[in-house]
Amino acid sequence: MAALPEDIFFAGIRELNSRLVKREFSAVELTRAFLDRLEKLGPRYNALALSLRDLALRQARRADDEIQRRRLRGPLQGIPFGAKDLLSVAGTPTTWGARPYANQVLDYTATVLRKLERVGAVLIGKLAMIELAGGGGYRWASASLQGPCLNPWDTSRWAGGSSSGSGAAVAAGLVCFALGSETWGSITTPAAYCGVTGLRPTYGLVSRYGAMALSWTMDKIGPLARSAEDCGLILQVISGGDSMDPSSAGKSFYYAPQFARPLKELRVGFAPVDFDEWAEPAARPDFHKALDVLRSLGLRFREVRLPDFPYSAVAGLIIDTEGAAAFEELITSGKVEQLADARQIAGLKAGLEVSARDYLRAMRIRRMIQQELRKLLADVDILVSPARFGRASKISEPLDRSRASAPRPKDRGLADLGAAGNLAGLPALVLPCGFADSLPIAIQLVGRPFSENTLLAVGREFQRVTDWHRRRPPAPPAA
């Protein structure tokens, strides 16, 4: 068969599956095309941790056989995807993005990957990530076994967050979709920086069995994909109770945006200061256009702000303490010194010194935050804010470098929504909404626990009348 056209690599799940069912091409042909592209371009972006060619072709042949016999398992059947390298695949290296674990081979497969295999999805590769998903904190984008993950829109910029390989691979058309994880911003940031759609599910909705633990009370696994619709199709498969995950909520998810409340009945909370002052000046025009689009869909807006709490301090202390406990052996053995980022090494060590009193105080404040967010979301159905306030950072600059010379706004608005939403375990949907100096920007929709269908219904309508999620980055860099 002739080479598949370029458009294939940027097609959505339903389109690809429909063409597979019609036998326009086989799952093996589609998988080989994606594998060739991933193996060729993935290293150029530092996005590929491990190609799984043999496994992928076995899964693709099985998908072809079932499609031929009309044993159709749903829209993910035969679809090539990638997984962040903190998800274990039995018998293959799972490095967690870190040198001390470069040769780690586990004998079990993560629940989410087994669920995807059961519906015929094809895992073609493990994708690069920040070391230990950023546990302990890090200062440089190069804090990864593969080096800094480059943004397909501008390779002098970072792909963002610890799920950087997942974001870059989807944006560059190396996989149809990818799984990432978020403890605090690791799905939302690469989705925003790379111009793809990302979904952070409600805490406990998706099993974490077989995933590296960073923070037991905050880790979440979710998809990065072409559209809100694709995210819904993926979440339907990977969600559900799991006795192997003690934090599992025991709930399933069925993607049914057609049964969501009419958009004109939804109340949206927003803070004008987020878009007028916190956002970078170059990003403000398209952020405001995104708000106009949401209003045109019939959503009713109301000004809100987060109550005053030390959101970032609380989130940081909990993650640092739980992360240091998870990696205690690494720290006490001295192997932590093999990590690439000096700040991360120091942060992990410091996490072991946090007192039980301080950790429990942070958890008590967290409970207060959850209660206040519950009250806020009783008055509105969705909170909307910039997913990030501006463009992807340069890989040559430290991540803590201040971007603006202007003073910080006095009104916090919803600026702490990332920390607050993760502390409360709330779902978030990231939607590309424009560009700032030719780099993608995005808004995020945050809702009540287990309100994913509402968020996805709004996201689908937003993407029906906009085309930001269909934009492609420039041609990849030469070898």
Q: Domains (ranges, CATH) in the chain?
A: 8-306+383-404+416-474 (3.90.1300.10)
Active site residue 186: yes
Determine the pLDDT at residue 406. 65
Which helix or strand (DSSP H or E) is residue 180 part of? Answer: strand 177-182
* Region 299-324 average pLDDT: 98
Residue among 88, 144, 162, 207 flagged as catalytic: 162
Mean pLDDT of 273-286: 98
Using left for φ > 0, alpha for ψ between -120 and 50, and beta otherwise, residue 161 falls in left
The tokens describing 88, both together, are: 């274990």
Q: Give the predicted TM-score (pTM) of the model.
A: 0.98
Average pLDDT (438-451) is 98
Catalytic residue, candidates 166, 186, 227, 393: 186
Q: Which of 113, 122, 114 is nearest to 17 (CA)?
A: 122
Q: Stretch 8-22: mean pLDDT, rounded?
A: 98
State pLDDT tens for residues 91-137. 999 999 999 999 999 999 999 999 999 999 999 999 999 999 999 99
Confidence check: pLDDT of 403 > 60: no
Q: How far is CA 196 from CA 48, 199, 288, 290, 364, in A?
A: 18, 10, 19, 15, 35
Instruction: Tell me, yes or no, if 394 is annotated catalytic.
Output: no
Residue 84 bears catalytic tag = yes
Distance from CA of residue 17 to its chain's centroid? 23
| Percent of the chain with pLDDT strictly greater than 70 | 98
Label residue 79 by pLDDT band (50, 70, 90). very high
Q: Which residues of 428-437 are buried (b: 16+ CB within 10 A; e: fewer)?
A: bbbbbbbbbe
Q: What is the percent of the chain where pLDDT is above 90? A: 95
When pLDDT is cut at 50, 70 and 90, the band that residue 257 belongs to is confident
Strands (DSSP E) along 341-476, which ranges? 382-386, 428-436, 439-447
pLDDT tens column, 161-211:
999 999 999 999 999 999 999 999 999 999 999 999 999 999 999 999 999
Residues 6+ apart with CB under 8 A from 138: 130, 131, 341, 343, 344, 347, 399
Residue 170 in tokens: 């989807």
Tokens of 211: 């995933």
| Residue 202 burial (CB count, 10 A) | 23
User: What pLDDT band is residue 3 in, cutting at 50, 70 and 90?
Assistant: confident
Tell me the three state secondary structure of residue 259.
helix
- As a whole number, mean pLDDT of residues 299-303 equals 98
List 26, 84, 164, 385, catalytic entry: 84
Note the pLDDT of residue 404.
52
SS3 at position 74? coil
